[in-house]
A and B are shown apart, each in its own frame.
Chain A
């Protein structure tokens, strides 16, 4: 498969009696921006470290561009890593850090310098080449780490929680910037994150990890709109599960269903008649959380489930919504926004929901 930048087959890793990665199959296409999303301890970082070569798998294979690299050392692999805490060499200047990979590969001095300065330009760090990492801010260090990896023009760039250490504002900026840089250089980006929003906004495709396995692989829209399991529904966004008795009462059907909070319309008063393709359920507002652009309503339905509804604050202000606690409301949603979920139990691990 020449078009696959990374192929993992039956990848497993045990630390003592703990199985951190329990059988992962994954194909990442050339030039893709791919996210591995999951809670901490779900095995995503271990998978990344096995692709980089820092850990060797207990079983399974790692292929890079069709070549089996499972038993190769990190320095024999055509990948570079942006580390979670950046791992910049504190005793070297920014330029020396960026040059390091080229110097190791014995690139002559003047092309080496040229490429390093070019890489620093591409991450908008011109004029910082003589500074030490200790003299930079978190966002600047992050970009040095990016330049240090990109300057080697690897086949695949691995990013381990690349934005985790940045504050919210900077993180949002860097999300846009990373995406732009990836488009510019055309290198496959494979990044690990526990932040669902980051995964959804930045990546072409997402793999959701849980307990050492992949629960679902898909585009951000697929993952969000059609989660394959209750875990995915719950981890990516708010799940709003309706099951059992409540499903029969509200929806008139058997099984477990989920509706995203922003798909629910909050209507004041009881017994709102739904449109032809709509469902509705009445209940009591138990909590109102005002969050600036939107308001979250926690509604206890009479059918016995608790749903969260997110409403844009188009005309209302906090004064208006706060008074709604304890009042009767109806939740209305379009039928196409309720989707069936295969499994009920969140706790039981299951096989990955894809071939």
Chain B
């Protein structure tokens, strides 16, 4: 190594150290550097697109040319509220999302409890991997696999329709319910379960008064996943839903076949509003205070 190269190394190291020292002394600069990328993403890409959606919902299309008319109008929302079909579809979507959430919760809680509290550390790892495995397979493949299962000649043979949609969605989103509840139960100290039994409580009582209240935030987190994913889905419905339509299909059809982007945007605000109402309701229970 030549002398000048060695000197260059020394200078680079010195500069690095000066920068590091500067950042160490200026905590605010450090924090803003750390947060700049996530904040830019959140601000522009995430909230920006939501804002664009919201603005678009108040525009309309020219019925003759199909061009966007960027003039404020309530027309889309009026159609949405007055149209019998849309109310039916919205209620149906709500019902499907709620059913999927409840089914997933009923399956996921015992599963997560067994994983977090009963399994040995070794089998715990394996169970987590097993729960995650279906997420590695393509969504479409899984949905079509259910189509085969449900077809009149298939193993289940239920045929297509709302029941089929609910079953398939419950299967697809189950890991999103198991994992948060599993994490929540992992955080719950075993000593609390011991303490409850020690004070005379049987299993069910301990579940009601200790386990459930302390894991409720995790259940809420899981339900947000299953609920919102179900509410926005349109592919599964297309594959196994038969003739029934959900909000997602209305959005999809208005973007595609009907070429009415503003109306699609207006429809798309419905799930957003439902989720906001849901979160506000959950917040009122105080379940998120302990997060």
Residues of A bordering B, CB below 8 Å:
52-54, 73-75, 79-81, 83-85, 87-91, 100-101, 104-105, 148-149, 152
Check B192 for interface membership: any CB of A closer than 8 A.
yes
Q: Are B198 and A80 in contact (CB under 8 A)?
A: yes
Would you mind naming 6 contact pairs between A and B with Cβ atoms under 8 Å apart? A85-B191, A87-B189, A87-B195, A89-B196, A91-B213, A101-B199
B210 cross-chain contacts in A, Cβ below 8 A:
89
Q: Are A81 and B195 in contact (CB under 8 A)?
A: yes
Question: Interface residues of B toward A: which range?
Answer: 10 to 19
B18 to chain A, nearest CB (A): 42
A80 cross-chain contacts in B, Cβ below 8 A:
198-199
Q: Are A75 and B290 in contact (CB under 8 A)?
A: no
User: Could you say which of B199, B205, B214 has the most chain A C-beta atoms within 10 Å of its C-beta?
Assistant: B199
With A74-B194, A85-B189: A90-B290 Cβ-Cβ less than 8 Å: yes
Q: Are B194 and A81 in contact (CB under 8 A)?
A: yes
Q: Is the interface of B mostly helix, strand, loop or mixed?
A: helix
Check B23 for interface membership: any CB of A closer than 8 A.
no
**Interchain pairs with CB closer than 8 A, number:** 63
Q: Are A91 and B197 in contact (CB under 8 A)?
A: no
Check B284 for interface membership: any CB of A closer than 8 A.
no
User: Could you say which of B191, B195, B201, B210 has the most chain A C-beta atoms within 10 Å of its C-beta?
Assistant: B195
With A81-B194, A87-B194, A104-B205: A152-B200 Cβ-Cβ less than 8 Å: yes
A101 cross-chain contacts in B, Cβ below 8 A:
199-200
Q: Are B290 and A74 in contact (CB under 8 A)?
A: no
Contacting A at CB under 8 A, from B203-245, are 205, 209-210, 213-214
Contacting A at CB under 8 A, from B181-196, are 189, 191-192, 194-196
B28 cross-chain contacts in A, Cβ below 8 A:
none
B290 cross-chain contacts in A, Cβ below 8 A:
90-91
B192 cross-chain contacts in A, Cβ below 8 A:
87, 89
Q: Are A75 and B201 in contact (CB under 8 A)?
A: yes
In angstroms, Cα B199 to Cα A89, docked, is 12
* Additional 15 contacts, C-beta under 8 A, given A85-B191, A87-B195, A90-B290: A54-B194, A74-B197, A75-B198, A75-B200, A75-B201, A75-B202, A79-B198, A85-B189, A87-B191, A89-B209, A100-B196, A100-B199, A101-B200, A148-B199, A149-B199
In angstroms, Cα B213 to Cα A62, docked, is 34
User: Chain A: which residue is nearest B286 at the CB level?
Assistant: A91
In angstroms, Cα B209 to Cα A89, docked, is 10
Q: Are B191 and A104 in contact (CB under 8 A)?
A: no
User: Chain B: which residue is nearest A96 at the CB level?
Assistant: B209
A292 to chain B, nearest CB (A): 37
Closest 7 CB pairs of A and B: A87-B191, A101-B199, A74-B197, A87-B195, A104-B200, A81-B198, A75-B200
In angstroms, Cα B194 to Cα A88, docked, is 11
B198 cross-chain contacts in A, Cβ below 8 A:
52-54, 74-75, 79-81, 149
In angstroms, Cα B213 to Cα A54, docked, is 23
A100 cross-chain contacts in B, Cβ below 8 A:
196, 199, 201, 209
B196 to chain A, nearest CB (A): 8
User: Chain B: which residue is nearest A91 at the CB level?
Assistant: B213
In angstroms, Cα B214 to Cα A118, docked, is 28
